[in-house]
A and B are shown apart, each in its own frame.
Chain A
Amino acid sequence: MARSISRRRQIVVTLLAWAIGLAIFFPILWTILTSFKTEAEAIASPPSLFMFDWTLENYGEVQERSNYFRHFSNSVIISLGSTLLGLLIAIPAAWSMAFVPAKRTKDILMWMLSTKMLPPVGVLIPIYLLFRDTGLLDTRTGLVIVLTLVNLPIIIWMLFTYFREIPGEILEASRMDGAQLWDEIIYVLTPMAIPGIASTLLLNVILAWNEAFWTLNLTAAKAAPLTAFIASYSSPEGLFYAKLSAASTMAIAPILILGWFSQKQLVRGLTFGAVK
């Protein structure tokens, strides 16, 4: 009896999980499907899910009009660069807060998080002027710096949470064995926190890839990443939904594939604290 209830429950939970998963994925699926329609079919009412004349015309036109690979390489450099630079700063910072907490550590953590509560547009003009005066406007270096700063609080918070789960005794033991500070961080702490660091890295690459305020406002032509590529297909006067969907699909495809292959690592890292 108990077994049948548990099986029924298992089926219900599985179905529910699939339903939620499909509901979350549906907008992306719809975008991908629309990218293979003609503009007329893209706005047809009622819309057809699969029964339409599939065409690659939109992808051809997008490729003809825009330099996809330039935007793509900008996105890769900016998102990876900002995440790696962020990790370089965040690992020592999170280490010190997790293992050598001071009286004000919690306040510092909250203060760092508070910078995320500031509407970015509030500091647009000062940052724009700084970038103008330092020649960083429309450069990948400028965007790497600004996205590192934007995502640093999240990186530090995530790493701090993982590091706190690691027993301090292990580090003490390594110190007794003669490990210096950097030995401790590089050879003891980092390998133990690899799942956490990996998921932080993946999550921040995704955040930086999708960032669409600073990447649009601080770039023009040279450093514009895929967010600018998508924005160039959005039109308030004219129905270009199929082309916009093709551009969106091309922009999200790399990160979608990365997420698909690294989902095990991502979930493992995100639930690291929960399963301890």
Chain B
Amino acid sequence: MNYFTRALMGASALSLLATGAMAEKITIATVNNGDMVRMQKLTDDFTAKNPGIELEWVTLEENILRQRVTTDIATKGGQYDVMTIGTYEVPIWAKQDWLVSLNDLPASYDMDDLLPAIRGGLTVGGELYAAPFYGESSMVMYRKDLMEKAGLEMPDAPTWDFIGKAARAMTDKDNEIYGVCLRGKAGWGENMALLTATANSFGAKWFDMDWKPQFDGDAWKNTLNFYIDLMNDAGPPGASSNGFNENLSLFQSGKCGMWIDATVAASFVTNPKDSQVADKVGFALAPDNGLGKRGNWLWAWSLAIPAGTQKQDAAKKFVEWATSKEYLALVAENEGWANVPPGTRTSLYENPEYAKIPFAKMTLDSINSADPNNPTVDPVPYVGVQFVAIPEFQGIATSVGQQFSAALAGTVSVDDALASAQSLTEREMKRAGYIK
């Protein structure tokens, strides 16, 4: 073997070694919510445990992210190896074979520890298609001082009648105190999340078993009339443009007596750094009407792996790390128990340290009282509490949401809004082939 051949072989061996040592880079698409941002800060732990894997983050606003990852997964673009998606996308995408099953995660992951309601929403045909990063339901957050001033006591499981009575009693418009703050901004994930969940507790539903829209029934009329009367009597001005953030701002600045919204808000309103009412907040389950269904929703921001990825093993390792028990302990150690991503694991709620958090029990009870597989009083052909897990829902519900938001603003009547909702939903469902 001459000098040249030896040099050539040596160079080849070196280049092979270098290729082997090169880290595999996985791209993770995520939303800019507090828990996700915290995860990005803690990824040194992951890279230390997995030196062969590098992480690249793409953080986007929720609606942009949804549009972006849907385009990519539908066209098999392969831009992302891990995607943050919600409970709405999982059943639809899993049926299209767009997601990788996570059933083969190692036993140490302890899949049985995942909260059954959350796991159920992410499972299709017995296969888990996304691992929950944080789960949420909705509940009542209320001002204990204003409730006391009104001479009332909030039960753990209030009715809508009580909420109406309390909201009107707490309202003091001269001092800019409004009894209740609810979402009014149009959008399938904005006012329609609240109104669909509320409608479930009034006995309403989106579709009957033959997929015929149901906005022409009394149940929807009662729901919408109750909501609009309540907001007119006890809601803040301009409520038709208020979403989660606007109501959070109002509640934190002491202008709302009650706010019914995502359980994740509990950590914001009790944080003395941002909230002027941090020490005056109490929690209760979302209201019901005695029909056996509460007006609370169920959602989980989850990590899923698109079927088109070339880096499935590395992506799985990351998903396993980010949604593990160890990750929850890591957050608690670095950021405190109040900042641990809620609503995913039973063991978290059995932890005595976490039980000290004022909203922990109510969050768990809220999640457990939601049933995405049987969301309504009457049987329905769809899955989902505050949504209907069909691809057409986003478009239809946003249009219906615009009608209901207009009714709240007073530009159309409740009857007209419901009639428009019925006709536009019928039209779209016919077009999509659900009904003739």
Contact = CB atoms under 8 A, between A and B. Distances in A.
Interface in B184-205: 189
B128 interface: no
B284 to A, nearest CB: 21
A129 B77 CA distance: 8
A217 B74 CA distance: 13
A13 to B, nearest CB: 35
A137 B249 contact: no
Interface stretch (A89-97, A184-192, A229-237): A229-237
Contacts of A128: 71-72, 75, 77
B27 A221 contact: yes
B56 interface: yes
Contacts of A233: 32
Contacts, number: 94
Nearest to A227: B64
Nearest to B190: A236
Contact of B32 (A132, A217, A221, A232): A232
Given A128-B75, A216-B60, A238-B268, A45 B37 contact: no
Interface centre among A44, A232, A239 (most CB of B within 10 A): A232
B304 interface: no
B79 A235 contact: no
Contacts of B27: 220-221
Contacts of A235: 31-34, 61-62, 245
A221 B75 contact: no
Nearest to A234: B61
A132 B77 contact: yes
Contacts of B76: 132
A125 B34 contact: no
Contacts of A234: 32, 61, 64
B274 A65 contact: no
B68 interface: yes
A119 B330 CA distance: 46
Contacts of A125: 71, 74-75
B215 interface: no
Contacts of B245: 235-239
A124 interface: yes
Interface residues of A, number: 29
A268 B173 CA distance: 53
B88 interface: no
A124 B32 contact: no
Nearest to B249: A43
A235 B61 CA distance: 6
A240 interface: yes
B26 to A, nearest CB: 11
B59 interface: yes
Interface in A229-266: 231-240
B71 A44 contact: no
> Taking chain A's interface residues, is the majority helix, strand, or loop, or is none over half, making it mixed?
loop
Interface string B262-303: 101100100001100000000000000000000000000000
B3 to A, nearest CB: 40
Contacts of A108: none
A80 interface: no
Contact of B33 (A44, A224, A231, A238): A238
Interface in B59-114: 59-64, 67-68, 71-72, 74-80
A239 B34 CA distance: 10
A217 B252 contact: no
Contacts of A45: 249, 253, 255
Given A39-B274, A40-B273, A220 B243 contact: no
B259 to A, nearest CB: 14
B244 interface: yes
Given A124-B71, A232-B32, A239 B264 contact: no
Contacts of A44: 253
A234 B80 CA distance: 20
Contact of A236 (B40, B62, B253): B62
Contacts of A137: 77, 79
Contacts of A221: 27, 56-58
The 4 closest A-B CB pairs, nearest first, are: A234-B61, A232-B59, A235-B32, A220-B79
Given A129-B75, A137-B77, A216-B68, 14 more contacts: A39-B274, A43-B252, A128-B72, A128-B77, A137-B79, A138-B79, A217-B71, A220-B58, A221-B27, A231-B61, A237-B244, A237-B262, A238-B33, A238-B34
Interface of B: 27, 29, 31-34, 37, 40, 56-64, 67-68, 71-72, 74-80, 189, 243-245, 248-249, 252-253, 255, 262, 264-265, 268, 273-274
28 contacts: A40-B273, A43-B252, A44-B253, A45-B253, A124-B71, A128-B72, A132-B76, A137-B79, A138-B79, A216-B64, A220-B27, A220-B29, A220-B79, A221-B58, A228-B58, A228-B60, A231-B64, A232-B32, A234-B61, A235-B32, A235-B33, A236-B189, A236-B243, A236-B244, A237-B33, A237-B244, A237-B262, A238-B268
